[in-house]
Every structure is written in C-alpha cells, then in structure tokens.
Chains A and B, each alone.
Chain A
Amino acid sequence: MFTEVWHQMRGVHGVFLEWGTALEWNIVFTFVLCLLILCCIGASLIVYRGRQTEGNALWLHLLGLCIFPLFLLPFGNFTIFEYSKQERFCASCHASMDPYVRDLTAPDGKSLAATHYQDRFAPGEECYTCHANYGVHGTFSAKLLGLKDAWRELTGTYTVPIKMSLPFPNALCLKCHNGARKFMKEDSHTDPGGVVARDLLTDKTLCTDCHVPGHLIPGRPKAAMKAS
C-alpha cells in the first residue's frame, strides 16, 4: 500500500496527482484508529497495571475499548467493502485471475472486458462494475459470490479455466448502456417507439449472444462475433 501511495504522490513528471478518495481516507482512518486502540490498551497495561478496573483507568478504557472501536466499525467496514470493488482486489487471486488480468491489459485486447477496461469506463472498479447487479441486492450478491470465490481460491477447490455458473444477465450491461445514445441508435436494441427491446429486458436475447468474447482467455475456444 505505501509503495502505491508513494508512486501516486510522485505523480507524472513530478506533478502531484490528486489523493484523497473516500477509500484512501478510510484506509488512513482505519490505520490510525487501530494504532490509537493499541496505544490505549498498551498504556493502560503499563500505567494502570493491577488496577485496571478502577478510577481513571476506566476513562482510558472508555477511549480504547469503546469510543475508538465504535469508530473503527464503520471505517473498517467501509474500507473492506470499497476495496473489495477494486480490480486489484479481484486480481490478487493470482492463479485463477491472472489470465483475466492479462486479457484486460493486453495492448491489442479485443474482448469486451479489455475494451471496457482500457477505455476507462469505471476506473479501478471494472470487474465489480460489470459483475455486480444494480442496487443493494446486487452489491450483496456480488460480495457473497466474491466470498465464495475467495474460499475456493484459499482451499484450491476451483477449476481452470473458470466458467460462469449462470449466463451473463443483460441487466448487468443495461444498467449502464440502457438509454445511452450509441446504444439506442442501434435498431436491434430497440422496439418500435424507440424503447429498449423487450427481448433484451427479459433476457430472451442475451447481449453476449452477439457481443463476444467477454474475456479472451488462451486455451478456451475463441467465440466469433455473431452478426446481430
């Protein structure tokens, strides 16, 4: 993390880059709160040794065992949930995710994932943006699936290449593309009256039926682009 922050601070051509997203501030707050908690506990063990349940020791405990931890709960959880949206979080499962990372960053990448990643549609959060459904329910499902994936990676109970357990639902594409000018100009995307085609909304026709490949992974059959 500190190497990353250092590189970010050095910037490009010595020009400082902006620092201070909600995630970055939360990482700092989490670190400081953890440190303060440890300092309070350490100080109480040294200063109030043998009489920790009496007098002024309780005020120190109020800080170290109640107030700071109460702040740590939201800051810590925010850090975890926000960081787990990052592409680098997904990419940290090296054995299973490396081919996908290579696909994303390949200079001549032709897959949908590479196009979205390299055109910076959702900087830093590309995996999450395309694989999490809309709304709170989508976030919850994505985190749950992420936990299962992490468990499989930890226990080595996964198969390579990874296969999607369900077809990629159109809702994941439509949450961004629905209503976009380029998308709505395409006749096959709309019904008469200029509204989004019913078949797309009901997943009768999948986006991935025409737009492939989502990821271009060596060793997997290369799907051809179908005519729409």
Chain B
Amino acid sequence: MAPIQELIRGDWPARVLAAAQVMIATVAVVGIAAVVTLNPYILLGFGAAQGLIVIGIVLFVIVAMLSQRAMVLEEFSAGQIVFRQGDPGHHVYVIRSGTVELIAEKADGGGEIIDRLGPGDHFGDIALLRRNLPRQFTVKAATQAHIFRISPSGFVQLYASLPEFREYLRQREEPHLRRLAAVRKGPTQPLGPKPPK
C-alpha cells in the first residue's frame, strides 16, 4: 500500500507524466527498430505496442488537466516525508493543520531538526525562488498534517505582483538559511527564535 499512497500523495503528476513518457518512448524506439529492420516480429511487436500510445496520451491529458489546478490539499500521517533534501523543488507548501519538522541531513547520514512549523506556516519556497537549487532540507510530518501544495506558476504570480509578499518571504527565509548553514558547518546549536509571520 505504501507505494500507492506515495504515488497518490507525492508529486504524482510528474510520475504519471514520466510513465506516459516511458510508454510512448518505448513505442517510438520499437517503431524505429521495426521500420529500419522490417523484421516481422519487431513489426508485430510495434503493432502490439500501439496500445501504449493510447494509454500514454490519456495519462498526458490527465496530467495536463490536473496540473492546471493552482492548489491541492494533501494529507500526511505522522512520520511521513513531504519531500527529501536534494530533491528537485518546484512546489510551495502551506500548512493547514498539524506540525512538520525541517530536518537538515548531514553527510554522515544523521539529521538535525532545524525548525518546526505549524498551521499557517509555509515551506518549499527557497528551492522554487532560487532556480536550479534542490531542496535544502527534508520535511517530515511530526503529527498528522493537512498541507496545501501550491503550483509554482500560482506562487510566482503572487511573488511577482505583491512586493509585501516578497519582503515577507525574504524575512522568513534568512533565519532558515542561517540556521541551515550553522548546522552543516559546526556543532549542534539550539533552535533560534521563530521568524516573524
């Protein structure tokens, strides 16, 4: 059940899209092999694989329609990972209920909690606003949590049009990054005061 739950809760549009890409690319590779060699078995395989094209197109249409939604509410149970440090980041999350932990993972395999966030807090903006930067920490649900996942386009639209919002994010981001740098450089330090909301 866990992989299915992960598929449903995680960044499933990207996974569904990847599945569509694999299916259609497979047909294309078989198609090239079939017309270049004109081998009867590869040709018949190409014919049999045509069904994958139909499935791939349907999956793409589903992703294209659903990825237009600006905000999706997701549910996480205690201990489940929202995203991992190093993952590519393109969504921003706002907590509706519950608590999450921001964990800085170290090279030796250990991890340290750098902050705890609750209802009204957000996370995930650092990787989005600094292009090509992967996730800087792992986020894990400490209790059962309901979290809004906001699409990058919706978030960037807000960021570009509201200067106050930009300033607010900058203030929130700095302490996190300072704390993160301290954790990675030196010995464990106590958690600092929570940044202003």
Contact = CB atoms under 8 A, between A and B. Distances in A.
Contact of B24 (A37, A51, A84): A37
A92 B40 contact: yes
Contacts of B37: 1
Interface in A38-67: 38, 41, 44-45, 49-55, 58, 61-62, 64-66
A30 B67 CA distance: 31
Contacts of B60: 61-62, 65-66
Contacts of B50: 73, 76-77
Contact of A72 (B21, B27, B40, B63): B27
Interface in B35-71: 35-41, 43-44, 46-47, 50, 53-54, 56-57, 60-61, 63-64, 67
Interface of chain B, main secondary structure: helix
Interface in B83-108: 88-90
A50 B88 CA distance: 6
A89 B40 contact: yes
B29 A76 contact: no
B8 to A, nearest CB: 16
Contacts of B28: 33-35, 37-38, 41, 72
Contacts of A1: 35-38
B153 A54 contact: yes
Contact of B43 (A34, A41, A84): A84
Interface stretch (B12-20, B168-176, B181-189): B12-20
Contact of A54 (B31, B35, B36, B67): B67
Given A37-B25, A53-B17, A93-B40, A79 B35 contact: yes
Interface residues of B, number: 41
B43 A83 contact: yes
25 contacts: A1-B38, A30-B35, A33-B28, A33-B31, A34-B27, A34-B31, A35-B32, A37-B25, A51-B90, A52-B17, A52-B18, A53-B14, A53-B63, A55-B152, A62-B64, A64-B24, A65-B56, A66-B57, A69-B27, A72-B27, A77-B47, A79-B34, A80-B46, A147-B44, A150-B41
Interface of B: 13-14, 17-18, 20-21, 24-25, 27-29, 31-32, 34-41, 43-44, 46-47, 50, 53-54, 56-57, 60-61, 63-64, 67, 88-90, 151-153
